[in-house]
C-alpha cells in the first residue's frame, strides 16, 4: 500500500484529490500497488465532501507519519511550501508539486536534497498545465542539445489576449472571466505582469541547459500595456499579439531568457494557439523543432499532470527518476542583441508631419507602415536589424510617445 498526502485543497488540489480518490482502482491497477490519500492539509473547513475525514490543519500529521511516502504540494507561494517541501524531502518522502514559483526559485536546492535522500521531486504540472513537456524534454529528447525554447506559457494572458482579439473584449472583463474559470493565479498580477510565464521559462531553461535560471535574471514584461488599438494594428499587419517566453543557448555557453508581449505573424504556428491553450516549441540539434500543445491552466488539466507524477513516484519508490540541474551564477543569463530582429513600433506625435518626416528620413518611406493622421499615430514594423541599432533609430523619431514590441515571423 502507498499512502499519500495532499497539501492544499484549492483549484488544483481539489482536482488531485478527486482523481486520486475517484480513480483509485484504475490508478492502483496501473501502478500495481494500492494507493490511498491519507491526509489533505488545508486551513479551511471542508465538511461536506465525501472525503471530509481526510482533512487536517496540522502539517505535523504528515511529516511525522512514516506511512506517507509521497506528498503532493499544491498550496502555491514559496514561504510555507518551501519549508514543508524541504522537510518532506529531508524526511525521505517523495514530493510532487505544481508550484512553479517554488521550483523556479528553489529548484536546484530541492533537487539536490531529493538526490541525497534518494527520493523523487517531480513537477511536471509546474509548466504547461496538462501538457506533458518536462518528461519528454528530459527523456524523449535526451539525445539532443537543446538550442532554443519558445512558447506561450501562460493560459490566463493568452485567454485575455484572445478575448481582446476575437471578441473585442476589454482587458478587465477578459481578466475577470479568466478568474471565474479558475485559470488565473490567486494574485493575477503574476499572470498579467509576466511573472508566471517567467517562472515557467526558468524551469524549462534550467532543465534544458543544465543550470538554474532565476526569475530575476529574466527580462520580463507583461501584457498590461497592450491595448485594443495595438491588437487592431497588429491585425492589419496580419499578426496577433501573444505573451511569448523564450530561452536560447548562445555560442559561449551562456543563455538568454525573456518574457514579453510579442507581435506574432499569422504564418507562425504560435499565432493559432488560442484561449487557455499553451504551446511550446523546443528546438533540438537532432530533432529540429518539436511542438507541445494543450491546456495550460485549469483544475483538471493541471491535476492530471500532478497525478501522473504521483503515479510515476509510486512506480519508482525505490529508484529515483533522474531530473537534475546545477546551481546558476551571476552573468549566466545575458542579453542577446546580436540576432537580426524586426520590431513593431507605435509612435504618436502632436506634430504629425514632423513625425512622418523623421520616419521617412530614418527608416525610409518603403517600410511597411500604417499612418493614422486622425489620431496622429504612426505604426510600423522595421526591417531586420540589430536590436540596439533599431532602438537608436526609433529614439531619433520626432515622437511624443513610442511603444515598441518584439516580433516573431
* Catalytic residue list: 200
By beta-carbon proximity to ligand HSE, the closer residue of 186 and 266 is 186
By beta-carbon proximity to ligand HSE, the closer residue of 247 and 381 is 247
List 134, 149, 297, 300, residue binding ligand HSE (CB under 6 A): 297
184 belongs to the binding site for ligand HSE (CB under 6 A): yes
What binding mask, one character per residue, do residues 213-252 give for ligand HSE by CB under 6 A, x or -? ----------------------------------------
d(CA 48, CA 36): 20
End-to-end C-alpha distance for the chain, whole angstroms: 53
d(CA 379, CA 370): 5
Looking at residues 74 to 133 of the shown chain, list those that interact with ligand HSE (rule: CB under 6 A): 129
Backbone angles phi, psi at 302, to 5 degrees: -70, -40
Backbone angles phi, psi at 256, to 5 degrees: -115, 150
**What are the percentages of helix, strand and coil residues in the chain, rounded to 5?**
40, 25, 35
DSSP structural state of residue 218: S
Could you tell me the smallest distance in angstroms from the CB atom of residue 193 to ligand HSE?
12
SS3 282: strand
Could you tell me the smallest distance in angstroms from the CB atom of residue 170 to ligand HSE?
19
d(CA 402, CA 253): 34
SS3 36: strand
By beta-carbon proximity to ligand HSE, the closer residue of 160 and 314 is 160
List 151, 155, 294, 328, residue binding ligand HSE (CB under 6 A): 155
Looking at residues 357 to 376 of the shown chain, list those that interact with ligand HSE (rule: CB under 6 A): none
- Cell digits of residue 92: 525521505
Number of residues in contact with ligand HSE, rule: CB under 6 A? 11
Could you tell me the smallest distance in angstroms from the CB atom of residue 297 to ligand HSE?
4
294 belongs to the binding site for ligand HSE (CB under 6 A): no
- Scanning 154-162, 246-254, 363-371, 384-392 for contacts with ligand HSE by CB under 6 A, the matching segment is 154-162
DSSP structural state of residue 399: -
Looking at residues 123 to 152 of the shown chain, list those that interact with ligand HSE (rule: CB under 6 A): 129
d(CA 380, CA 262): 14
- Interaction site with ligand HSE (CB under 6 A): 129, 154-156, 183-185, 191, 196, 296-297
Amino acid at each position: 500500500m502507498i499512502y499519500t498526502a495532499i497539501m492544499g485543497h484549492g483549484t488544483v488540489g481539489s482536482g488531485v484529490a478527486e482523481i486520486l480518490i475517484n480513480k483509485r482502482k484504475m490508478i492502483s491497477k496501473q501502478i500495481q500497488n494500492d494507493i490511498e490519500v491519507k491526509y489533505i492539509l488545508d486551513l479551511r473547513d471542508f465538511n461536506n465532501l465525501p472525503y471530509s475525514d481526510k482533512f487536517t490543519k496540522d502539517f505535523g500529521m504528515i511529516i511525522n507519519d512514516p506511512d506517507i511516502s509521497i506528498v503532493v504540494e499544491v498550496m502555491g507561494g514559496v514561504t510555507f511550501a518551501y519549508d514543508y517541501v524541504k522537510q518532506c524531502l529531508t524526511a525521505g518522502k517523495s514530493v510532487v508539486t505544481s508550484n512553479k514559483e517554488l521550483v523556479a526559485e528553489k529548484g536546484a536546492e530541492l533537487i539536490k536534497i531529493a538526490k541525497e535522500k534518494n527520493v523523487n521531486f517531480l513537477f511536471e504540472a509546474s509548466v504547461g498545465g496538462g501538457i506533458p513537456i518536462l518528461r519528454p524534454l528530459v527523456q524523449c529528447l535526451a539525445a539532443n542539445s537543446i538550442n532554443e525554447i519558445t512558447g506561450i506559457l501562460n493560459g490566463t494572458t493568452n485567454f485575455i489576449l484572445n478575448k481582446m482579439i476575437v471578441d473585442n473584449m476589454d482587458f478587465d472583463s477578459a481578466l475577470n472571466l479568466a478568474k471565474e474559470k479558475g485559470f488565473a493565479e490567486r494574485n493575477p498580477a503574476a499572470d498579467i505582469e509576466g511573472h508566471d510565464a517567467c517562472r515557467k521559462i526558468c524551469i524549462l531553461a534550467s532543465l534544458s541547459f543544465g543550470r538554474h535560471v532565476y526569475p530575476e535574471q529574466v527580462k520580463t514584461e507583461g501584457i498590461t500595456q497592450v491595448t485594443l488599438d495595438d491588437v487592431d494594428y497588429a491585425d492589419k499587419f496580419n499578426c496577433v499579439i501573444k505573451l511569448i517566453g523564450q530561452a536560447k543557448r548562445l555560442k559561449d555557453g551562456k543563455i538568454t531568457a525573456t518574457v514579453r508581449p510579442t507581435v506574432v505573424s499569422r504564418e507562425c504556428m504560435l499565432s493559432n494557439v488560442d484561449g487557455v491553450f499553451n504551446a511550446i516549441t523546443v528546438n533540438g540539434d537532432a530533432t529540429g523543432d518539436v511542438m507541445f500543445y494543450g491546456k495550460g491552466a485549469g483544475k483538471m488539466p493541471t491535476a492530471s499532470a500532478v497525478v501522473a507524477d504521483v503515479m510515476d513516484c509510486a512506480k519508482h519508490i525505490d529508484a529515483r527518476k533522474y531530473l537534475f540541474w546545477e546551481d546558476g551564477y551571476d552573468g549566466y543569463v545575458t542579453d542577446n542583441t546580436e540576432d537580426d530582429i524586426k520590431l513593431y513600433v507605435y509612435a504618436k506625435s502632436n506634430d504629425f508631419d514632423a513625425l512622418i518626416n523623421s520616419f521617412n528620413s530614418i527608416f525610409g518611406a518603403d517600410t511597411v507602415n500604417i499612418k493614422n493622421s486622425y489620431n496622429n499615430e504612426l505604426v510600423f514594423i522595421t526591417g531586420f536589424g540589430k536590436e540596439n541599432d533599431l532602438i537608436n533609430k526609433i529614439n531619433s523619431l520626432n515622437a511624443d510617445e513610442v511603444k515598441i514590441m518584439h516580433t516573431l515571423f
